[in-house]
Amino acid sequence: MADMNTGYFKHDITEAPKSKAVFDLFSLKGKTAIVSGAGAGIGLAAEAGANVAIWYNSNKKALEEAANIEKTYGVKCKAYQVNVATWDAVKDAVDEIVEEFNGRLDIFVANSGIPWEEGPFIDGSVETMHKVFKINIDGTLFSARAAALHWRRQKKEGTTIDGQPLENYSYGSFIATSSMSAHITNIPQQQTVYNTSKAAVNQACKSLAVEWVGFARANTISPGYIKTDISAFIPPTTKSLFKSLIPMGREGETHELKGAYLYLASDASSYTTGTDIIVDGGYCVP
């Protein structure tokens, strides 16, 4: 962290992982991950060996998914209904999960988000604007804050919540799902509110990366057009138009995001913080 008197960063307050073997660096075995919202973060954490807590809002399919993950990967997985737009709900959920999942937290994937579907901002409702900001911005910041309280304590005390030695822990990893819309203006869609919310997420994580130095890392992933429910409302004619603007000529599949999330979740990215990984088939390049 920076010295408040000089503004310069203190020396040698972080350290590299002890293992240099690449598969060891990518392993999440024995770690605990929380994933809010459905998406790429859920399955990959379990595949890499982590115990996973899934957050959902209203889609109770998450309960079935959690049971399937436990059976398939042999890890602990449980679904929780959480309103990410409320600080108390987020903090209570994180605290409950840490107690239930071996007294520790290693990874938080903030994947909850909603789109803007009302066209030009001038014609959309102010109520919807507030809802998008509440979920996309407040929900991300609340999640970051609740997780970081545990990461700071874990790094300082070196123990689980119940006082046991904390093994195989380096730093907390916060990964927020942003969007290429934080970088560009989508064509032909008009979604000023959504673009603004994602740009805020990127800037927040850059700032948190500096504030958290020594106990946690914060990064973002900015997907392009991916085949998910969040883009299901887009008409086929519009999809045809935006495919013409993607050098790779197609929408991405959710599993094509796994590598980016795993990298940032694991010790393989121990020297990576405050960065954003764009996974968009080249949309932002031209």
What are the catalytic residues? 179, 194, 198
User: What is the 3-state secondary structure of 228-245?
Assistant: CHHHCCCCHHHHHHHHCC
What lies within 8 Å, CB to CB, of 30 at 6+ separation is 49, 50, 51, 167, 168
Pairing of strands 216-223, 276-279: parallel
Distance CA 174, CA 274 (A): 10
Which CA distances in Å does 186 have to 112, 122, 124, 157, 243?
A: 21, 17, 17, 46, 12
